[in-house]
Chain A
């Protein structure tokens, strides 16, 4: 009877032995290679620090101009441009300017990193069904595994700081861009591809001249999603030493400061909305040919 009441598990001794073995192996690995890994990521760290300093050192009126300019270039809409500038003004008035700049820095670098890694992986995935079968479950894991779980090995390897934070953000934020690049390329009209083949295109010409341009709207949707997910990681990243709007939110949680939490939380939301609207309208303009517009 006892057999059916409790699941026959391996027993505490065996299990703790196994866990310890895994921990020890990983600790050994991080002792042996941690420094090399840190050196490997050093250029990234320097770039991140440089970019953060640049944003912090730039006088605020110039940042406002740049924000307005980028919003205009992206969206060509007065409403979105004015809204973006106004949001930054409010952020500044409420004394969240510095944290916002830090967040902006890490989000920008994380997004660039995700694009640089994600699009090639997505292209690779679109070219072979086997690659797709291998990568899809990995992406599933990356998206669903609780962030705290992969924070452990990242912190063990690289300690606390900006780079592990960046890596954590990227692990969470990269799947949409990979998926949508893959999807976008696979959805390109077969008739168009056949026509390209019939004129003697090389696979390389076909990829860059036909498939990627026609997949751009989907790739853009992926970039948009990646930015949104990166922003939602800001608070968690602040737990392992990333500066920015997440830090006050974290302090608000532990001290029950409702106003502080709300203010910084809403600042993150404002950033998200600006990024979203600007990149979406830009993506729409890219496919103007679809609506028959010029």
Chain B
């Protein structure tokens, strides 16, 4: 795996009057309900450590109240943690002065919000150029770069509209263009597509994946939707009650859920579209028949498997190297979970 871009180390966030005082109790193992009952403090983040790889999409998933939106706001310090460390490119974000922090927010990170967070009194082009304007970039340069990103997200012709005149999906395209316009390497997306209806959401995911193929940003994507997580995430982390309970790739989460909570989550998803053959390929006896690419999802592998002479196929990795063999029976078993 590539290098870590953002590292979160033993992060704690407690909301309340004297969070520092109750921190020791939390560290000693007090849970969220007891903490609330005994001290009136709310446990937001509980000892979360997460290495976020460079140029990949890291999804953080959890139900509402799991602390995922709190977590993402720690990365650019919109929320101050109670304890712990956050490193961006090895630099400690928490020890930065206001000025240094502003520099990070201007140049290194940019953010897309669930409720869009657009400036209602500014036109689309002025919204997209906002991050650059804050940095003091010249007007002509802003206009040029804003136009580029407006075109890229498919809003050409809407430059002079106000956000209030656009649909939700279009407003979020403005939000995305605004975030991309600063050329920041890290894109923080807080439930960016959750407010959109399913079809538009799917479109936006496609736009994001398309852009990512070319831009290779480090994206931290928060969602409560497992389908979205599985579709977008190179890596997925699952939060519950502010604690990290599982971390891994999509097939890892689906095939080996860490506990019943996650198993419950994953039981309704379409496993055929998530699990790839390479996860099933058992190293062992060599196979001399037909080969199939290991990144094929199960749904697409069933037909070739059933047509193979002994209903068995060899699996190769992206470079064509042999990984192992898979049988139709194995594939069907994996589908049923």
Contacts and interface: CB of A to CB of B under 8 A. Distances in A.
Contacts of B115: 191
Interface in A177-193: 189, 191-192
Interface string A209-239: 1100110000000000000000000000000
B117 A194 contact: yes
A290 interface: yes
Contacts of A189: 120
Given A191-B115, A289-B162, A198 B121 contact: no
A191 B117 contact: yes
Contact of B131 (A194, A199, A289): A199
Contacts of B226: none
B117 to A, nearest CB: 3
A77 interface: no
A11 interface: no
A195 B111 contact: yes
Interface string A258-292: 00000000000000000000000000000001111
Contacts of A200: 101-107, 131, 134-135
A266 to B, nearest CB: 39
A250 to B, nearest CB: 45
A196 B122 CA distance: 13
Interface residues of B, number: 33
B78 A194 contact: yes
Given A195-B111, A198-B105, A198-B111, A292 B119 contact: no
Contact of B120 (A197, A198, A199, A289): A289
Given A192-B118, A197-B105, A199-B182, A292 B164 contact: yes
Contacts of A209: 133-134
Nearest to B101: A200
Interface string B125-145: 000001101110000000000
A199 B130 contact: yes
A12 B86 CA distance: 72
Contacts of A291: 164
Interface residues of A, number: 22
B121 A199 contact: no
Contacts of A294: 160, 162, 165
B110 interface: yes
A192 B105 contact: no
Contact of A192 (B107, B117, B133): B117
A205 interface: yes
B76 interface: yes
Given A192-B117, A192-B119, A292-B162, A199 B78 contact: no
Nearest to A213: B121
A213 B135 CA distance: 19
Contacts of A192: 117-120
Given A192-B117, A194-B117, A199 B106 contact: yes
Nearest to A199: B131
B113 interface: yes
A201 interface: yes
A254 interface: no
B69 to A, nearest CB: 11
A202 interface: yes
A197 B134 contact: no
Interface string B89-114: 00000000000011111110111010
Contacts of B106: 199-200
A200 B78 CA distance: 10
Given A289-B162, A292-B162, A292-B164, A195 B105 contact: no
B118 A290 contact: no
Contacts of B104: 200
Interface string B190-219: 000000000000000000000000000000
B135 A195 contact: no
A284 B106 CA distance: 34
A198 B164 contact: no
A128 B163 CA distance: 30
Nearest to B127: A195
Nearest to A214: B121
Contacts of B107: 200
B134 A205 contact: yes
A194 B77 CA distance: 11
A235 B296 CA distance: 87
Contact of A214 (B113, B120, B133, B182): B120
A194 B110 CA distance: 12
Contact of B113 (A194, A205, A210): A194
A294 B161 CA distance: 7
Given A197-B78, A198-B78, A199-B182, A289 B121 contact: yes
A210 B105 contact: no
Interface in A136-154: none
A25 to B, nearest CB: 46
A199 B134 contact: yes
A283 to B, nearest CB: 14
13 contacts: A191-B113, A192-B120, A194-B117, A198-B76, A198-B109, A198-B110, A199-B105, A199-B178, A200-B104, A209-B134, A214-B120, A292-B162, A292-B164
Interface of A: 189, 191-192, 194-202, 205, 209-210, 213-214, 289-292, 294
5 closest A-B pairs by beta carbon, nearest first, are A195-B117, A200-B105, A200-B106, A198-B111, A289-B162
Given A194-B117, A197-B78, A209-B133, 6 more contacts: A194-B78, A198-B117, A199-B182, A200-B101, A201-B102, A213-B121
